Structure 1
Amino acid sequence: MRDIQLRPGQKEVCDYRGGLLGVPSVPGAGKTFTLAVLTANLIKEERHLPGKILIVTYMNSAVTNFKIRIGDLLEQQGLPRNKGFDVMTLHSLAMKIIKEKPEALFLTDAFIPLDEIEQNRILQRETAQWIEENDAIFKSFIAFHEKDKSLQVKLKVDQWTKKINNVCKEMISYLKCRGVDIHRIPELSKELPQHSLLRMCLAVYDKYERYLRHMGMIDFDDLIVKSIDLLKRDEGLRERFQEKYTYIFEDEAQDSSILQEELLRILAEKRGNLARVGDSNQSIMSTFTVSDPKLFKRYCEQPQTQVSKILVSSRNSKDIIDTANYLVEWSQELHPMALCRDSLEPQMISPVGEDDPFPNPKPEGYTIGKILAKTRREELFKIAKNAEKQRDKGKTIAVLIPNGYIMDEMKEIMDQQEIPYREVSSFPKERARATEALGCILDYLAHPDDQEKFIHLLIQYLQVEIKEDEGLLKFLSNCYLENIFYPMDHDILEREVPREILDSPNWKQLLENIYMLKRFMEASTVEPEALILHIAECLHFDEEQIAIAQKVALDVQYMMLLNPNWRMAELAAQLKYIRNTYNYFANLVYERNGFMAEPGTINLITYHKSKGLEFDTVYLTCMTSEEFPAKLEDKFRSDYWFLKQDYKNPTAVAKAELDVLLGEVHSLSPIEKARVETIQERLRLLYVGITRAKENLLFSCHEAYDSDFGRKNVTPSHYFHILKNYIEEKRTNEGN
């Protein structure tokens, strides 16, 4: 292995040879690189024998990254690239365990975990049935008012109907994580009042789980639960896996859950070699998953755990490091909520030494700024224009946006200003296009006489430029589509079409698409899954889009097996309902090669999605008290406006009810506890945003935004004011 210069902290980690190790690290500290070097060193010394080194990480993209890095290091030593190690996600590991003895769990060898599409469908059915059977209880959670008009009542009922599915889904995951089997449901339910959110979730959980067991299915939460159960019950299997892996390394340990921790402890139990690497200040998943940032902290505090911190980073300029460290210090000492003063761990980032081959960036002058705009639209417009200037400088650029609604508004502004950008949110439009095109075509084939669907299909997915062609648009809106698709006489059709339309280049393009759609109609008698693949081929899908189409086709085949009487209309309606899940799958397909920021490209990305990435210039947008609350009296996005005060965060209330039944007592009310946890996590999210910037950083905020209910006033986040004052003081000092 060629000489590798290790930084303070990295060297200590690479000296590890056994026992329990905790590695708290800071952003940009090179933890992936360090674990890769450690792995290669252990393999070179053959310390992994007779087993292997197992690295468990959070994302599939991280799996690929680890394999490449370790493979490169081994290759430099003349060793095979895949010698002596495995890299897996937690769910891949659990699958591997269960595949050893699926019959013990009454599963076949070919079992596949229930995907989100089918899980959402089952939950939708079970929640709908519960609502039908418990209408009065369902409505008892809604905040109806005497002055509510019928439309307002309907809106609140519709909103709760939509959200209840997510509440039950989150609670089922939480119940499984807490070890609550359905056999305990009668015992728990009798302790609860009729009007209880937990009682509702338990009822849906019971029906959902019994259906899965009847069908011989398991979901992704079951993978972890059942793999642990299998290892505990089967001594031979447990010993086999403990012998197989000499060392267990966990990446992103700050996002670990109780179940993940237990599974890894079981595997490391015999040899006692467990190394966990993480950054508690980047724990940003706990409010919507079962991860718990306290677990990694407790692990590091155990007396038997050796702790080696990696606190040196070359990612950010000194000014940006100072800003991140200031936020940590301020939160520890001066946060307005005393309960939130431990949100960020007191681990400060240090720049690398002067002799480091990869020094910290050194931009000219002070390159941190702020914008306070009157409206959100004004704020986003200013950001767009500023980012365009950075683009001209050849910088890598990221505009961090809190949520999908604001993402859509930002895209609209960028499009209007004709500023090119790349969307890196969960479901960017270019990735969703394949699934949406398939759904839109099937929807039209189910309603071939619907002119509105036909025109929408032409404009959005078949690229027929008729939006500005008023004559052609008017003609299509008023004609009989059957006469266009199947004219009795070609000459008669041409006589009915105005000459200016016939001479339009769009007319020829329209006829080509009509011919293609006719082929789809004629092929609609074949199996639906074959039709979907035929459509994908005719639309010239690329390799990644074909993979998505194949996934859709497999699910359609399964749906038709369960619902043999479905016609095209029912199938199209179901595909539209589950479109977001296909977008999720599309994202996985597109992310196989990972993400690489390109100079001169403006990346629109959510704060959460930015974790693990870095850019020359970063814009932290919409720092309002709604998005980054700092006090209990701030407005919280997790609150449902249409529910009564005591139920505004239904998942938090249901979790609190369960905690009480399991013997846990909290000093705060469920709503207060959830708000404190949100404040803590959003502060960590802000820290993540700051530490994405290498050279230039700009904070921005607004005082009002337009909604369907008119203009809403908002207040800048307390953090915005704190950082604004800090920046102004630093600028003043720079001037002196």
Structure 2
Amino acid sequence: MPQNSDLSETRTTPEVTATPDNGRESPWERIRRGLRPGQRQMADWQGGSLAVSAVPGAGKSKGMADAAALTIARSQLNHRRQLVVVTFTRSAAANIKVRIRQALETLGLPAYGFNVNTLHGLALNIATQHPEQSGLSLEEATLIAPNQSHRAIAHCVERWIAEHPYRYQQLIEGQSFDGEETERLRRQSVLRTDVLPALAHTVIHESKSSGLLPEDLLALAEASQTRVPDDDYEILAIAVGLYREYQQFLRSRQLIDYDDMILAALRVLREPSTCQIWQERVYAVFEDEAQDSSPLQSQLLELLATDANNRDAPPNLIRVGDPNQAINSTFTPADPIYFRRFCQHCESRGLLATMDRAGRSSPMIIEAANFTLDWVNEHYPRALQGLGTAIVEEALPFRAQHIHPVDPGDPQKGANPAPTGLGLELCAPRDIYATVGAIARRIVELFSHTSEPRSAAILVRENRQGRLIQEIFSNPKAYGLDCELLDRGIPVYDVAANERLSHVPGEILALLNFIDRPHSPQYLKEALRVLVKRQRIQAQDLDRLASRPEQFLYPGPLAPTQSPSELDARGFCTRLLDARIALPIYQLISFIAVELDYNPSELATADKLGERVSRQTARSRSMASILEVLNEIVASESFEGVDADRDTESIYTRSGQVTIVTMHKAKGLDWDYVFIPFLHENTIPGQSWVPPQAQFLGEFTLSEVARAQIRASLHGQKQFYSRRLGDFDPTTAIPSVRESWQQAAALKMAEEYRLLYVAMTRARRLLWMSAAVQAPFTWSKPENLQQQKPCPVFAALAKHFPESVVTVD
């Protein structure tokens, strides 16, 4: 890969004739005419690198899908040379796959020439096709996704303690220690179960996702010893030991994690001949949600997007995202600074597409969101002065990019709908219980005064808030409230309470059981029930059909004549049995998902299920082993479905329903009416804090200090995007422990404000926000009310929009 890519150079392909000779508008023109200016910039792309900064509600998914379809048509892509689309989640992959297929259908083209993957799915595909070069084989290794309590983390902590007794004793003593045995045991427990696992999990994930090997982190730790005078514990040195123990544990148990998949793919692409094979397959890469990408992801995608025959040319790479919606950087390695820099780099060369026309929200909501962006950027530096932290422009919470309503004559229907009520309503109920009562009354009022299909959501900062709301809605009299939601028949869907339930594994198991044993009356009936439930066949007497499977499936000349509904059911069943013969066994789950006409959410869940089954049966891939794994999953109800479908008819955004969901999960969705309660300063922006049980170590946490130091070093790397795996300069500036903790606090504050911005921009017609006068200090004890300050943004909104302030009982 070139060390310096001039993104101003672009590769072009011949134009495809879009207008037929008869003068009528072609499907090509019709698609392009249906796009907004920013979307058209993507659609007109013909090579090179392009950054796309898209505001909330700008239609980036539509723009990306239509641009993909036009690129496939223009460049005549096929099975051998494809467009690769990379998304952040399976849900997004399922959604955009459907959109691209629809656009290709409009163009009269078959649904091929493209591949949609999550990053890890793409990396796994590359790595497993070249096991010798990648060093990865799922037939020999098991994939794990370790969290802080995973046995791999626990093992590396215990091994580190055994190997480093002096450092461990230093941690036990902390800032001060009187030698009392009970306190020693308490501190040991805190270190073993909290502090060291948190440090290990943070550092390992942060390092591996950035391409830092243990030796790279060791070099950084050694450099910090002379340049970080206030680091009495030598935090990065501890981190190196934990990282090494973790890697050794994975090797000894033949385990891999998700970061290993990306590293394995990069090892494959470092081999010139193999890299050329992949680059010849890939015409271009479109990356969605680029603000949430990691350094390693950037390296992988840029390699794939490079032209094998012209490596000095800029990669065929479109990165689409919104730095202002980066809400994962405090608990994942995602770091929006890299996409910001990519945007700046492209902008300096005239290769930045700005999608700032958004049709989702009414103008009043857009104005409130823009005010929030400006207010936070103005006041954020002042807030950091109290922390003693300096601010640079690229570290401001928001990129200076306003949302604008669409232009007159916008091609996409229903843009910028008329507001309901005031459009923006701000209130300060007496307490959190009065807040819930006010929300219920307003929802009843809203749903009662329209015959149009409308949706509503209550967005909460944490699940405990949502749990309380659901409890009050379910039993309002216990809280002294009148709540008519249930009496009016308005359903309430609590995402947190339902997200672990999925019907997909059970349905697929039922059909696979039938495919495996079609002559079993029990399995045939269960399969037919699924088909009736999914409306793939008509409801009928299933017991009669299942009583004689052979006669139903293979009627002889003397068998009774089957009715049209029976013939339809038999045809469906025989197609399933034919697939057992025609398809490889590992493709059956995907085939069944398509045959059941799953929506994008269900398709994504089926893909996830198939990946899990494939991993668990890698050593013995047979129908028996697949059924065994599926039976375990269904019996334990431990499989979590994927929230993939983002259409208005999806389960989260169903009309006539009130959805309770966290702000994080609400990203990518929208509702007519959005309620954001409990906006208090101790929640948004909140503050970084040290758990009381760990304060013996000092007024900071080891994990956040280590994260800040690693990121500061990475931010200082030269030629970061073209940096090859293993090229790491440890001599960049490393902040002190105090500075690192301040940077962690600043990062949290910025992200909390972006999270509020994301929540506000979910609303189409009404945005209702509140900050109760009385609220709990901690939501683990919601009954302990005390006076709480409102979120600074809420107070600023109330001052700037006094006409939106409303009074509630």
Q: Could you tell me which of 209, 214, 217 is aligned with 1:177?
A: 209
Q: Deviations over 1:239-264 (max 9, x none)?
A: 11111111111111111111111111
Aligned pairs (5 A) from 1:649-668: 649-658=701-710, 659=712, 663-666=732-735
**CA 1:66–1:307: 2 relative to 1, 3 Å:** same
**CA 1:698–1:666: 2 relative to 1, 3 Å:** same
- Return the offset for 1:44: 1.9
Which residue of 2 is the match for residue 346 of structure 1?
400
Distance 2:96 2:614 in 1: 31
Contact 1:391/1:601 (<8 A) preserved: no
Which residue of 2 is the match for residue 77 of structure 1?
107
Q: Deviations over 1:8-67 (max 9, x none)?
A: 222222111111111111111111111111111122223547721111111111111111
Which residue of 2 is the match for residue 411 of structure 1?
470
Which residue of 2 is the match for residue 6 of structure 1?
35
**CA 1:372–1:291: 2 relative to 1, 3 Å:** same
Q: Could you tell me which of 707, 717, 720 is aligned with 2:791?
A: 717
Distance 1:149 1:621 in 2: 46
Q: Which amino acid aligns with 2:65?
A: A
Identity of aligned residues (%): 27
Contact 1:397/1:615 (<8 A) preserved: yes
Distance 1:45 1:548 in 2: 32
TM-score by length of 1: 0.72
**CA 1:136–1:409: 2 relative to 1, 3 Å:** farther
1:114 matched to 2:146: no
Contact 1:94/1:223 (<8 A) preserved: yes
Structure 1 unaligned spans of 5+: 436-542, 559-574
Contact 2:294/2:334 (<8 A) preserved: yes
Distance 1:724 1:145 in 2: 52
In terms of fraction of residues, the more helix-rich structure is 1
Contact 2:128/2:136 (<8 A) preserved: no
Contact 1:647/1:653 (<8 A) preserved: no
**CA 1:701–1:273: 2 relative to 1, 3 Å:** same
Distance 1:299 1:187 in 2: 28
Contact 1:431/1:590 (<8 A) preserved: no
Which residue of 2 is the match for residue 52 of structure 1?
82
1:300 matched to 2:343: yes
Q: Could you tell me which of 609, 627, 630 is aligned with 2:683?
A: 627
Aligned pair count reads 597
**CA 1:294–1:589: 2 relative to 1, 3 Å:** closer
Which residue of 2 is the match for residue 206 of structure 1?
244
- Return the offset for 1:715: 2.0
Distance 2:278 2:427 in 1: 55
**CA 1:325–1:407: 2 relative to 1, 3 Å:** same
Q: Could you tell me which of 739, 753, 769 is aligned with 1:699?
A: 769
Q: Deviations over 1:430-488 (max 9, x none)?
A: 625999xxxxxxxxxxxxxxxxxxxxxxxxxxxxxxxxxxxxxxxxxxxxxxxxxxxxx
Aligned pairs (5 A) from 1:116-155: 116=145, 120-130=150-160, 134=165, 136-140=169-173
Q: Could you tell me which of 658, 671, 686 is aligned with 2:756?
A: 686
Distance 1:366 1:373 in 2: 18
- Return the offset for 1:390: 3.6
Q: Deviations over 1:300-357 (max 9, x none)?
A: 2224461121111110001111111112222333443373873112211111233233
**CA 1:403–1:58: 2 relative to 1, 3 Å:** same
**CA 1:387–1:327: 2 relative to 1, 3 Å:** same
Distance 1:380 1:322 in 2: 26
1:248 matched to 2:291: no
Aligned pairs (5 A) from 1:518-533: none
Q: What is the SS of the residue equivalent to 1:329?
A: helix
Q: Could you tell me which of 251, 260, 285 is aligned with 2:297?
A: 260
Contact 2:217/2:236 (<8 A) preserved: no
Distance 1:311 1:189 in 2: 43
Which residue of 1 is the match for residue 640 of structure 2?
586
**CA 1:183–1:344: 2 relative to 1, 3 Å:** closer
**CA 1:75–1:185: 2 relative to 1, 3 Å:** closer
Aligned pairs (5 A) from 1:321-360: 321-335=366-380, 336-337=382-383, 339=391, 342-356=396-410, 357-360=413-416
Distance 2:294 2:763 in 1: 29
Q: Deviations over 1:503-558 (max 9, x none)?
A: xxxxxxxxxxxxxxxxxxxxxxxxxxxxxxxxxxxxxxxx9999999999999999
Q: What is the SS of the residue equivalent to 2:642?
A: helix
Q: What is the SS of the residue equivalent to 1:603?
A: strand
Aligned pairs (5 A) from 1:519-558: none
Higher mean alpha-carbon deviation, 60-69 vs 100-109, is at 100-109
Which residue of 1 is the match for residue 670 of structure 2?
614
**CA 1:167–1:411: 2 relative to 1, 3 Å:** farther
**CA 1:411–1:650: 2 relative to 1, 3 Å:** farther
Contact 1:391/1:397 (<8 A) preserved: no
1:728 matched to 2:802: yes
Contact 1:377/1:705 (<8 A) preserved: no
**CA 1:385–1:127: 2 relative to 1, 3 Å:** farther
Q: What is the SS of the residue equivalent to 1:586?
A: coil
Q: Which amino acid aligns with 2:687?
A: K
Distance 1:325 1:592 in 2: 24
- Return the offset for 1:216: 2.8
Q: Which amino acid aligns with 1:7?
A: R
- Return the offset for 1:609: 0.7
Which residue of 1 is the match for residue 331 of structure 2?
288
Q: Which amino acid aligns with 1:274?
A: L
Aligned pairs (5 A) from 1:376-525: 376-392=432-448, 395-417=454-476, 419=486, 421-423=491-493, 425=495, 427-429=496-498, 431=500
Distance 1:68 1:172 in 2: 36
Contact 2:771/2:790 (<8 A) preserved: yes
Q: Which amino acid aligns with 1:84?
A: G
Which residue of 1 is the match for residue 588 of structure 2?
none
Distance 1:592 1:33 in 2: 12
Distance 2:428 2:397 in 1: 26
TM-score by length of 2: 0.66
Q: Deviations over 1:596-628 (max 9, x none)?
A: 511121101111111100000001122111221
Q: Which amino acid aligns with 1:601?
A: Q
Q: Which amino acid aligns with 1:649?
A: T
Q: What is the SS of the residue equivalent to 2:354?
A: coil
Which residue of 1 is the match for residue 653 of structure 2?
597
**CA 1:12–1:384: 2 relative to 1, 3 Å:** same
Q: Which amino acid aligns with 2:797?
A: L
Distance 1:143 1:410 in 2: 44
Contact 1:376/1:622 (<8 A) preserved: yes
Contact 2:43/2:63 (<8 A) preserved: yes
Distance 2:330 2:374 in 1: 24
- Return the offset for 1:388: 4.2
Contact 1:53/1:247 (<8 A) preserved: yes
Distance 2:665 2:672 in 1: 17
Structure 2 unaligned spans of 5+: 1-26, 226-230, 308-312, 385-390, 477-484, 505-601, 619-632, 714-729
**CA 1:318–1:217: 2 relative to 1, 3 Å:** same
